[in-house]
Amino acid sequence: MSQYNVRLEVMLTLEKNIDTFVEKFLITPEKIWQPTDFLPNSQSATFLDEVKEIQELSKDMHNDFWAVLVGDTITEEALPTYESWLLDVEGISQHSNNGSDNGWAKWIRAWTGEENRHGDVLNKYLYLSGRVNMREVEITTQHLISDGFDIGTARDPYKNFVYTSFQELATYVSHNNVAKIARQNGHKMLAKMSKIIAGDEMRHHLAYTEFVKQIFQHDPSEMMLAFQHMMKHKIVMPAMHLRHSSEAKGSLFDQFSAVAQRVGVYTGFDYVDIIKKLNTTWEIDKITGLTSEAEKARDYLLKLPERMYRITERIVVPKTDFQFKWMNPLV
């Protein structure tokens, strides 16, 4: 049987339990938090006072922090790109032969519904803060969606689930660090929403790592090789094509990445730590029945964090005062 057919068989096997995954890892719209739970109530008599308080607090936060928060928001709002990419993965279809929903498509739509709230609440908060040029933010968001991105997974479900496992943990780290910085600066509302967004990302991370765990049980060698492939080629960040208005695709990512590192929201050490955590979560050192090629892949993966840590220690983060069009020129 070809690799392609084995992958489809494994996806079909996992799909049989998709309702269990949805119930365990996702929350219905009626029970989960919604953006308005963390924002001033526009129907309240105190609405303008609450907005004024947000704007006063926001004046004291450094431009670098706001640039990172804008980048995180735009990344969250590019959700249509991620949904369309996942729906194209082998073994996932919006339709099945009997006309009913494909189980994986059901998962992706429900996951998308949860993720959609993140960009929604952050966008509204940015708007209320008065610290950013929302039109420039909106232009960047539209560009990021229309530019798309290639994460190097093709339509391979194994590689795609490695990517989502990694990326959900990366967004957890980023939002969690934003929450810490906001809290330290008295920005309680922003800290609270960022913390709960981080909680969503962790829950989604646990789901995708569970998918990979189960694939390791059914097809260990190919799953190990897929994991190695993704780590060798490095995880492409969703914001890789960031750009300002009237600028070239991807021209803004290096600046955004540098600012995120020096603010401490997401660093090279976080990247290395995630690899180490995935190795531990999937217990790759204990997996048996591997081919000789997969054994070599495992050896590479186990040694990778230490090697990358040494490289990361030598990275010098620029102190350049980058000028982001997102920032309100009046501040």
* Residues labelled catalytic: 33, 76, 115, 118, 168, 171, 200-201, 204
Q: Using CA of residue 83, residue 85, residue 87, residue 91, what is the dihedral sign?
A: negative
Dist. CA 14–CA 216, nearest whole Å: 12
The whole-angstrom distance between residue 182's C-alpha and the CA centroid of its chain comes to 20
**Cα→Cα distances 225→208, 286, 331, Å:** 17, 15, 50
Dist. CA 220–CA 213, nearest whole Å: 9
* Ramachandran angles phi, psi of 320, nearest 5°: -55, 140
Other C-beta atoms closer than 10 Å to the C-beta of 139 total 18
3-class SS of residue 132 = strand
Tokens for 186, please give them: 């008295």
3-class SS of residue 46 = coil
Tokens for 73, please give them: 């928001």
Amino acid at 186: G
Beta bridge partners of 132: 327
Helix 103-129 vs helix 47-58: crossing angle, to nearest 10: 80
* Ramachandran angles phi, psi of 251, nearest 5°: -70, -15
Dist. CA 54–CA 190, nearest whole Å: 9
Dist. CA 142–CA 78, nearest whole Å: 8
Tokens for 53, please give them: 């308080």
3-class SS of residue 327 = strand
